[in-house]
Amino acid sequence: MSRLAHLIKKEFTQVRRDPAVLRLILIAPIMQLVLFGYAASNDVRNVPVAICDQDNSADSRQLAEEISQSRYFHLTPMAGDPRALEGLLLRGTVQIGLHVPRDFHRTLERGQTAQVGMYVDGTDSNNATVAAAYLTGLLRARGVSLAERSARAAGRRGVTMPGIRSEPRVWYNQDLKSVNFMVPGVFAMILLVLTVNLASLAIVRERETGTLEQLLVTPLRARELLIGKTVPFALMAMFDAGIIFLLARGWFHVPFRGSMALLFGMALVFLLHSLGLGLVISALARTQQEAQLTAFMVVMPNILLSGFMYPVENMPVVIQYVTYLIPLRYFLQIVRGIFLRGVGVEVLWPQMAMLVGFGVVTFAIGALAFRKRL
Amino acid sequence: MALAVEVSNLVKRFGDFTAVDGISFSVSKGEVFGFLGPNGAGKSTTIRMLCGLLLPTSGEARIAEHDIYRETELIRRSIGYMPQFFSLYPDLTVRENIEFYAGMYEVPRARARERVEELSGRLGLEGLLDRMTRTLSTGWRQRAALATALVHQPPLAFLDEPTSGVDPVTRRQFWEFIDDLAREGTTVFVTTHVMDEAEHCTRLVIMHDGAIIAEGTPEEMRTRYVQNMVEVQAAPLWEALEALQASPLVREAALFGDALHVQLREEVVDPAEAVRQALGEAGVAVEAAECIPPTMEDVFVALARGGEEAVREASP
Ligand SMILES: Nc1ncnc2c1ncn2[C@@H]1O[C@H](COP(=O)(O)OP(=O)(O)OP(=O)(O)O)[C@@H](O)[C@H]1O
Ligand SMILES: [Mg+2]
């Protein structure tokens, strides 16, 4: 066995005997899946919606009918006055208020875009975003058919007609299931959480327990130690990725339309970035506790800014610029793109290029910091 | 004879604190070389520089005829190092630790197994090989650490306070083991502040405040640095101590167990008689006063005091 093989074997033995790390590797991914997969998918059922229909036309009534029939929404008694919507939202009676204005039907008939006011209770912003996106999707689909009908009636065939204005947000998750949105996200997020946490302990732990002193007098090379300290974590992360993938397909029935080789290949590229990040933390921290706190403080904003829970498009513009610096954002787009849209390099190349760039640079910095601190 | 360690003008500064202040010495192959000195003398710092764990501020050193700046790779292959502070993996068993380090030195697997058997036999570790290292008491941890440091049969072994925290019986076994190692041809470089252990060394240096203040065989040390040593039994002892410390003939008087060790000035011809006289004048009853050969501890106390005086004189 080579030195490297001994090192990797030792790392696995230590992990096997450390309940905290075992929990992180075996239980955490499942918990995250259940949490985000189930909790989120249940939440977007029966979202209470109120409609203030001032148009009171056949079209507007049909719209209300359709909303009430959807299993995602629950139509509560109508409010007659747009201002009453505000009260319902304030009291939390409904989560979304729709205001159909007086000229809804006429605007559509003229072949113009009808404005429908949508007021969303953002307290539970994650839930609200998803619900609002669903409703927008529904309005849009409805709008297209209404517009087509009025266009036909007006005899203007073949001209593209605007319908109800809608800003599609979760547009690629067409069957409107949040689990399809969340589970691939968990796939990406777990890789970050796991590897940053494990790699951040890589050297501090040996330094703090004093074992580094004995290790560094051996002929072991810095490069070997670097590989020995990252490869085991990469393997564990890929193992978790495999488990999440199987559960996503077998248990949550998330569609998978793209290339598996591409998905796992990009996961490896992303690991370059996350392991590099962990190594930098490990090199800077003086104690294990400091390393873990830093890891937490690095991982949290990464997740928040990546679009894992809240779509980047909904963030303030300034923050949106910041998200360009978050490689998890690109990885999420890649993972969701491969899972749900089945797209490959031809579409995702800009994100892939960014991810490769970030991966190489972060790992290089991590490796340098690691060497310097030995 | 070829030199195992050759050090000249080695300096280590931490900021503006000088931990090792231009020391020079050499160790021949096959020696048991003792490195003595009080806490903070700079012993561990020196060893860590020689093992390539710490970069010297300046100075030269060659280990097993390799340069410490340019040939670290070769040095690492030829030395074993037992750090002062326990540094085995607490969550691996003793056997796993030893075999892991055998792996680091690329000892073939079959040979590594033999070494585990051999070393655990000689150090009495047989029954503990599959114990988690974390659960061992200090003495057994030190044995495990010793076995680990020697698994690849290095020609040169640096042992930094191998006997610290170890009971007297185990201490004796350790030194028998070290003597055996030397007989088999391993050069041993060992630090300690237990002075009677220094008797096991073929040669030793004493370090104080980063400098070497004495060097020689244990025998040379005793005769060169401490003369006119008298052991005194008197009652009351503390009055005797005060009287002797006040006497102009006495260089040093210290409590040593239930007796006093008194060192008289070189010019005193009959030290035992001088002590009796001094105590007689002070009215203290002398039970016994006889010349004794100084112990290493006497040497150490004398030198350490001397070192402090030298420092005080140097900095007005
Ligand atoms: N990394 C460091 N940074 C700053 N000072 C240090 C460092 N390492 C050692 N020192 C200082 O250098 C001096 C010598 O320390 P060293 O550990 O070499 O002493 P020692 O002779 O081994 O003592 P002991 O018998 O207590 O082990 C001490 O004053 C110590 O505080
Ligand atoms: Mg020391």
> How many residues appear in chain B?
316
Whole-number pLDDT of residue B69: 92
Give φ, ψ of B207 to 5 degrees. Answer: -105, 145
Q: Measured between CA atoms, how close is B45 to chain A, in angstroms?
A: 13
Q: Which string of DSSP letters, residue by residue, matches A122-153?
A: -SSHHHHHHHHHHHHHHHHHHHHHHHHHHHHH
Q: For residue A177, what pLDDT is reported? A: 58
pLDDT tens digits for range A275-292: 999 999 999 999 999 999
Q: Closest Cα partner for A60 from A131, A108, A97, A111?
A: A108
% of chain A with per-residue pLDDT over 70: 84
Residue given tokens 């340098």 in the structure block:
A368
Q: Encode pLDDT of A59-69 as tens digits.
A: 888 888 888 88
Give CA separation, A177 vs A45, A340, B115, in Å: 10, 11, 62
Residue A348: inside a domain, yes or no? yes
Q: Is B14 in the pocket of ligand 1 (CB under 6 A)?
A: yes
Measured CA to CA in angstroms, residue A1 lies from A6, A7, B87 at distances of: 7, 10, 23
Classify residue A202 as left (phi > 0), alpha (psi -120 to 50) or beta: alpha
Tens digit of each residue's pLDDT (9 = 90 or more) over A303-325: 988 888 777 776 788 888 888 99
Helix boundaries (H) for A154-200: 178-200
The verdict on the CB of residue B185 being under 6 Å from ligand 1 is no
Per-residue pLDDT of chain B (316 residues; tens, 9 = 90+): 578 899 999 999 999 999 999 999 999 999 999 998 888 899 999 999 999 999 999 999 999 999 999 998 899 999 999 999 999 999 999 999 999 999 999 999 999 999 999 999 999 998 999 999 999 999 999 999 999 999 999 999 999 999 988 888 889 999 999 999 999 999 999 998 777 788 889 999 989 889 998 888 888 877 776 677 888 888 888 888 888 888 888 888 888 888 888 888 777 778 888 888 888 888 888 888 888 777 767 777 777 666 555 444 444 3
What is the pLDDT, as a whole number, of residue A178?
66
Tell me, using a 6 A CB cutoff, whether residue B120 lines ligand 1: no
A144 and A216 assigned to the same domain: no
Whether residue A54 sits in one domain with residue A36: no
> B160: how many CB neighbours lie within 10 A of its CB?
23
Q: How does pLDDT run across A86-133, given as a tens digit for each residue?
A: 777 776 677 788 888 888 888 877 777 777 888 776 655 566 667 777
CA distance A65 to A58: 10
Q: Which residue of A has its CA nearest to B152?
A: A218
Query: CB count, 10 Å around CB of B233?
Result: 15
In this predicted structure, what is the pLDDT of residue B242? 87
CA distance linking residue A260 with residue A136, whole number of Å: 32
The CATH number that applies at residue A83 is 3.40.1710.10
From chain A, pick out residues whose CB is under 8 angstroms from the CB of B133: none
Residue to mutate, B20, B36, B44, ligand 1, most ligand atoms under 8 Å from C-beta: B44
Q: Which residues of chain B are within 8 Å of residue A10 when distances are taken between CB atoms?
A: 89, 92, 96, 100
Q: Which residues of chain B make contact with A212, given a CB cutoff of 8 A?
A: 87
- B88 has a chain A CB within 8 A of its CB: yes
| Better-scored residue on pLDDT, B241 or A146 | B241
Same structural domain, A243 and A146: no
Range of the domain at A313: 2-41+177-369
**Cα B22 to ligand 2 centre (Å):** 18
Where in the sequence of chain B do the CATH 3.40.50.300 domains occur? 3-216
Tokens of A188: 């990406």
Q: Which of these three, A93, A119, A153, is where a domain ends?
A: A153
A321 falls within a domain: yes
**Hey, are the CB atoms on A218 and B53 less than 8 Å from each other?**
no
* Mean pLDDT of the residues in chain A: 82
Band (A233; pLDDT cuts 50, 70, 90):
very high
Q: Which CATH superfamily is domain B3-216 in?
A: P-loop containing nucleotide triphosphate hydrolases (3.40.50.300)
Strands of B141-202, DSSP E? 156-160, 187-192
For the CA of B17, the closest atom of ligand 1 is 5
Contact criterion met (CB < 8 Å) for B87 and A209: yes
Q: Please give the Cα distance from A42 to B258 (Å, whole number).
A: 83
Please give the tally of structural domains in chain A: 2
Which of B53, B85, B90 minimises the CB distance to A217? B53
Across the interface, of B53, B101, B104, the residue whose CB is closest to A213 is: B53
Q: B288: how many CB neighbours lie within 10 A of its CB?
A: 12
| Dist. CA B48–CA B85, nearest whole Å | 12
| CA atoms of A116 and A79, how far apart (whole Å) | 15
Residue A266 domain-assigned (yes or no)? yes
Residue B256, φ and ψ in degrees, nearest 5? -140, 95
Please compute the mean of the pLDDT values over residues A76-94 and round it to a whole number. 75
Kindly report each contact of residues A83-87 with a partner whose C-beta sits within 8 Å and lies 24 or more positions away, as own/partner: A84/A52, A85/A50, A85/A52, A85/A119, A86/A119
SS3 of B3, please? strand
pLDDT of A166 reads: 38
Cα(A204) to ligand 1 centroid in Å equals: 21
Residue B117: CB atoms within 10 Å? 12
A162-203 confidence digits (pLDDT tens) = 455 433 232 334 444 567 778 888 999 999 999 999 999 888
- Is residue A189 domain-shared with residue A320, that is, in the same domain? yes
Same domain for A147 and A30? no
Which pair of structure tokens corresponds to residue A37? 């997969």
* Contact: A218, B52; criterion CB under 8 Å: no
Residues A219, A148 share a domain: no
Quote the pLDDT of residue B1: 56
CA angle B194, B197, B203 (to 5 degrees): 115
- pLDDT tens digits for A14-61? 999 999 889 989 998 888 888 887 765 545 667 888 888 888 888 888
Is residue B53 lining ligand 1, measured as CB closer than 6 Å? no
Q: Are residues A229 and A310 in the same domain?
A: yes
- From chain B residues 1-20, the ones with a CB under 8 A of any chain A CB are none
Measured in whole angstroms, the distance separating CA A116 from the mean position of its chain's CA atoms is 28
Residue finishing a domain among A137, A153, A169 = A153
Residues in chain A: 374
DSSP bridge pairs for B205: B35, B215
Distance from CA of B260 to the nearest CA of A (A): 42
Least distant ligand from the CA of B53? 1
Residue of chain A with shortest Cα separation from B92: A14
Cβ pair B101:A214 closer than 8 A: yes
Fold for the domain defined by B226-314: Alpha-Beta Plaits (3.30.70)
Residue where one domain finishes, among candidates A153, A185, A203: A153
Q: Which atom of ligand 1 is nearest to the CA of B15?
A: 4
Q: In terms of domains, do A305 and A361 share one? A: yes
A281: phi then psi, degrees, rounded to nearest 5: -60, -45
Residues of chain A positioned with their CB less than 8 A from the CB of B47: none
- Is there a single domain that holds both residue A201 and residue A345? yes
